[in-house]
Amino acid sequence: MQFRNLALYLQKLEETSSRIEITKILADLFKNSHVSEIDKTTYLVLGQLAPSYQGIVFNMADKMVVRAISLAYKKDNAEVIRLFKQKGDLGEVVSSLSLSKNNKLSILEVYEKLVKIAQDEGGGSQERKVGDLAKLFSEVDSLSAKFISRMTLGRLRLGFSDKTILDALSWLVKGDKSAKLSLEKAYFVLPDVGLLAKKVKELGLEKAVKEIKPVIGVPVLPMLAQRIKNPQEMIDKMGTVSVEPKLDGLRLSIHYKKGQFVKAYTRNLNENSWMFPELKKIGEQIKAREVILDSEAVGLDEETKKQANFQTTMTRRRKHEIEKTLQKISIEFFVFDLLLKDGENLLNRSYEERRKKLGEVVKPGKILKLVDYEITKDSARINELFREKIKEGFEGIIVKKANASYVSGRTGWRWVKMKQEENSQAKLADTVDAIVMGYTVGKGKRAQFGVGQFLVGIKKGEKILTTTKIGTGLTDEQFREMKKRLGRLEVKEKPKEYEVQKNYLPDYWVTPSLVVEIAADEITVSPTHTAGLALRFPRLVRFRDDKAPEEATTLSELKKLFEMQKV
């Protein structure tokens, strides 16, 4: 398929707000895509070049794309900047400057050129990127150039994510959403919608899904915990359970292949192996050729010899300070699950079977620690263990169904977390992971920060619904950090995913990228917030750089928290 045909599909998707119509347009695109290009096409409609775990990104700022536009269309930089300020979108700037209607480049040819630009590194790479992008602009029609410019800046967002791609693949093979569950199950194990689309196109649905299993070097979407305050309800729903301490660390999937590599992936599927040089030495603690381990990375303060909190552990993300941070904060990796051993898929094995094998595979030592656990079916014992773990400095406990398989996501009553006793006076049983949607400029003292309040929302399918505005409880440093982060995410128009009533419109919109953990006194019914529920006296706990927007709290989860506070 020629790229200009893909650009026509992208234009149609941009102009469409109906979720079902977007799904049908994508299904038609996949129907007309050749098996050799459908994976690349899938990445491009999502505004990316590969699944996130591969880390192929453009790293191009507005200034670089402005220079490429100037070079491509022989315009002064000042003229392009003026148009950018006027239109607020470099895609529209390109479209207005390009007079070309010719474009014979195929999707594969454009994709290869974009990958080359993204992967160009080293001395002089910025100039080469600008030159190569300018050349590409000059080779394509104005509509294609518009979407290419947005892709390079990470601003293509058309209001859908991987989940809608799965819906579209179901429409492709079934004409409805009936295949979504089997596609989701495969995606959770191999979170690469491009590869999944190619397998479906090439092999058919059943064979494609059957072939999927964990692969070393490809992160499995993590299993997540639901919330229950009442231990007796846990026993009623789950039967015999295992109780583990709840750690305040960074969830980490560790992939080990003897003599070859160790990779580490956070729960948002980003590869962060560079943060943990300690993992290079874990081979002496593993009795297997290859494994995928589920773990929690927890910092250890070298002065106090106590476990550090999440924010301290996350200081490891500053690459230029990694050596200095290593001396202050060492890391211990608390392992609690085994998903693959020497090619054997363990996802369908019970929790108890996996824990038994984990004990045989991992030899506890300085780097890898095995998380303690106790099997019980006594609700009183769960309460006792909760109090013990709180005294030991843990956040609470994780209670796991003993005979449950490993199922990605937060589905069923397989894992639950308990951070309060059932007779606790606190109304809200847990924090909320919300997506920052926009911000309002501050007044008075806050004017110096550039942020006075920020609007946050939660997920409902592909939609993001408002649930509160936050303007208090932040330190001066947090206000400055918030402005710094949001400044990089600003967009002129409200993203298509957002549903916001007019009394909550912010001064500036931002792309749905930043996840923040919010604490509140309680949840109340709200006639004005689009979620229908609001957080009362909200306050920022921390930035959740380890979580993608897709992992934010959902409306159904917020409703469960609302019901739990009544108990």
Looking at the annotation, which residues are catalytic?
Answer: 246
User: SS3 string of 316-347?
Assistant: HHCHHHHHHHHHHEEEEEEEEEEEEECCEECC
Cα(398)–Cα(404) distance, rounded to whole angstroms? 14
Closest listed residue to residue 335, CA positions, set 397, 251, 257, 401:
251
Cα(398)–Cα(298) distance, rounded to whole angstroms? 16
Cα(362)–Cα(371) distance, rounded to whole angstroms? 11
Q: End-to-end CA distance of the chain, in Å? A: 58
State the CB neighbour count (10 A cutoff) for residue 444.
7
The token pair at 181 is 């569950």
Cα(562)–Cα(185) distance, rounded to whole angstroms? 29
Residue by residue, DSSP assigns 100-161 as: ------BHHHHHHHHHHHHH--STTHHHHHHHHHHHHHHHS-HHHHHHHHHHHHT----S--
User: Packing angle between helix 162-174 and helix 19-31, nearest 10 degrees?
Assistant: 60
In whole angstroms, how far apart are CA 164 and each of 27, 50, 183, 327, 465?
10, 17, 11, 45, 18
Q: Which residue has the tokens 């390109």?
A: 94
Residue by residue, DSSP assigns 355-367 as: HHHHHHHB---SS
Please check whether residue 338 is in contact with residue 346, taking contact to mean a CB–CB distance below 8 angstroms. yes
The token pair at 325 is 């941070």
Alpha-carbon radius of gyration of the chain: 25
Closest listed residue to residue 1, CA positions, set 107, 101, 102, 111:
107
Q: Is 509 helix (H, G, I), strand (E, B) or coil?
A: strand
Rounded (5°) CA angle 534-408-54: 100
Task: Count each helix (H run) and each strand (E run) in the chain, helices first.
Answer: 20, 21
In whole angstroms, how far apart are CA 513 and each of 56, 353, 460, 481, 517?
17, 38, 16, 15, 13
Cα(351)–Cα(405) distance, rounded to whole angstroms? 6
